[in-house]
Amino acid sequence: MNVADRLAGVEMSLIRQINALATPLSVNLGIGEPNVVPDARLREMAERAATTSWHYSANAGALSLRKKIGAKTSFDPKSEICVTAGTQEALFSIFTAFVNPGDEVLVPNPGFVSYATLARICGARAVTYNLEPPEWQIEVDALRTKITSKTKLIIVNSPSNPLGTVVSPDTLAAIAALGPLVVSDEIYREIWYELEPASMLELGENVIVVNGLSKSHAMTGLRLGWIFARAPLMQPIITAHQYIATCASVFSQALAEAILEDAEWNASWLRGVRAQFAAQREAALYAITHELEAEIAPPAGAFYAFAPVPSCDTVSFAKTLATDAAVLVIPGIAFGSRGEGFIRISYAAAVDQITSGIERVGGWLRASGM
Ligand SMILES: Cc1ncc(COP(=O)(O)O)c(C=O)c1O
């Protein structure tokens, strides 16, 4: 059987490959899923959501939900907001709507694996813009030099997977002013520590923002995301979304609506999520300093620490750690060439797991004389 050309060279991501090595005894610091447990109120909302309509919603999602998603913005819920089956489907719809063979898509390096893969599926070329340690910040002048007549999209991800960095409001504004369409992936925006991350919403007609409930509400399996885009951009996105997903799950939409309706509960839930991740971040940073003897800037958002490891092939290193030390971490190169020499440690895990997982990495490094 000949697989379609668009999938040539597209393989299961390294993240999935490493996670496939998990055993019941593994400490899993490889996963990008919040370890937050739904409280009684959230479960009650889910039970109620299950009793609502099971029929299709509008392609763009229930209007009542779109109104709640857009409540504090200038976006018209009728024509400028679309509910999607998670942020991943949001990205796929956007790429399908705009990216042609031969186009270029600017993606961060290191950055979330999907961006370059989606470009490739559309026959386009992912052109990386490099982020440099230790700050890993976007240099707008360097980014500008990467723009050509073929540039279709610039992808921005703040807070970042895998870096945990946050992009400053000035930099976001400067990126919006560069000209090409910008897709701002803000799926981690509710997970922050000292300062609330800025959004690219309202920064220009050329800016598309994606977000959702996967990370903030530990709803990764419920597939609930959304897109903000001005009406002329949204039209083709909804056409693509219609043929990809028809509509997001109406159960998840009803649950999202209940969550956004109960502003007081939601604010307190988000505070709780941030407090939990703050404690886990402390445990991770302590263990990274003491076990890996590495100093990294505290992540400003999301739940990832990108830690340097002694020079080695990080893919075999991570695979060996998974099989011999029963700890899963993701090799930095899974996120692009600039990630070589680093591992991504997800601290979306219980404190004792974080501590013992990083201890195992440190122990293995010492035992192998690295
Ligand atoms: C940066 C980033 N964007 C998008 C996604 C996809 O999220 P969703 O579950 O909303 O599809 C992820 C998931 O890990 C992510 O890390």
Where is 16: in which H helix or E strand?
helix 14-19
Contact 321, 361 (CB under 8 A): yes
Q: How far is CA 158 from CA 12, 131, 181, 324, 347, in A?
A: 24, 13, 17, 34, 18
Q: How many CB atoms lie within 10 A of CB 352?
A: 10
Q: Whole-angstrom Cα distance, residue 261 to residue 255?
A: 10
Q: What's the pLDDT band for 15 if we cut at 50, 70, 90?
A: confident
Question: Which protein residue's CA is at the shortest distance from atom 7 of ligand 1?
Answer: 87
193-221 mean pLDDT: 98
Residues with Cβ < 8 Å from 48, sequence gap 6 or more? 254, 258
The SS3 assignment for 42 reads: helix
Give the model's pLDDT for residue 13: 81
Q: Is the pLDDT reported for residue 99 higher than 90?
A: yes
Give the model's pLDDT for residue 2: 86
**Structure-model confidence comparison of residues 346 and 18, the more confident one:** 346
* C-alpha 5, offset from chain centre: 27
Question: How confident is the model over 135-185, as pLDDT tens digits?
Answer: 999 999 999 999 999 999 999 999 999 999 999 999 999 999 999 999 999
Structure tokens at 163: 């870096």
- The atom of ligand 1 lying closest to the CA of 212 is 10
Block residue for tokens 């990386």: 128
Q: Is the pLDDT reported for residue 118 higher than 90?
A: yes
Percent of the chain with pLDDT over 70: 100
Give the model's pLDDT for residue 186: 98
- The atom of ligand 1 lying closest to the CA of 112 is 1
Q: Which of 19, 69, 87 to mutate to test the pocket of ligand 1 (most atoms within 8 A of CB)?
A: 87
Q: Whole-angstrom Cα distance, residue 88 to residue 252?
A: 15
Give the model's pLDDT for residue 109: 98
DSSP single-letter state for residue 211: E
Question: Which protein residue's CA is at the shortest distance from atom 14 of ligand 1?
Answer: 32
- CA–centroid distance, residue 87 to ligand 1 (Å): 6
Block residue for tokens 């109960």: 262
- CA–centroid distance, residue 225 to ligand 1 (Å): 9
User: What is the CA angle 85-272-91, rounded to 5?
Assistant: 20
Question: How confident is the model over 256-265, as pLDDT tens digits?
Answer: 999 999 999 9
Q: What's the pLDDT band for 368 if we cut at 50, 70, 90?
A: confident
Q: Is the pLDDT reported for residue 63 higher than 80?
A: yes
Question: How confident is the model over 269-327, as pLDDT tens digits?
Answer: 999 999 999 999 999 999 999 999 999 999 999 999 999 998 778 888 899 999 999 99
- CA–centroid distance, residue 330 to ligand 1 (Å): 16
Of 136, 181, 194, the residue nearest 161 (C-alpha): 136
- CA–centroid distance, residue 207 to ligand 1 (Å): 18
Hey, which residues does 27 pair with through a beta bridge?
327
- CA–centroid distance, residue 10 to ligand 1 (Å): 18
Q: Which of 187, 209, 215, 330 to mutate to test the pocket of ligand 1 (most atoms within 8 A of CB)?
A: 187
Query: What Rg value do the Cα atoms of the chain yield, rounded?
Result: 20
Give the model's pLDDT for residue 270: 98
Of 131, 145, 142, 206, the residue nearest 176 (C-alpha): 206
Q: Which residues have C-beta atoms less than 6 Å from ligand 1? A: 32, 86-88, 112, 157, 161, 185, 187, 212, 214, 220, 225
Q: Is the pLDDT reported for residue 11 higher than 90?
A: no
- How is 257-319 classified by DSSP, letter by letter? HHHHH-HHHHHHHHHHHHHHHHHHHHHHHHHHHHHS----PPPSBTTEEEEE-SSS-HHHHHH
Q: Which of 214, 222, 241, 335 to mutate to test the pocket of ligand 1 (most atoms within 8 A of CB)?
A: 214
Q: Is the pLDDT reported for residue 97 higher than 90?
A: yes
Give the model's pLDDT for residue 110: 97
Give the model's pLDDT for residue 19: 87
Q: Is the pLDDT reported for residue 370 higher than 80?
A: no
Give the model's pLDDT for residue 284: 98
- The atom of ligand 1 lying closest to the CA of 185 is 3
Q: Whole-angstrom Cα distance, residue 85 to residue 91?
A: 10
- CA–centroid distance, residue 325 to ligand 1 (Å): 28
User: What is the CA angle 304-92-46, rounded to 5?
Assistant: 65
- CA–centroid distance, residue 216 to ligand 1 (Å): 11
Q: Is the pLDDT reported for residue 1 higher than 90?
A: no
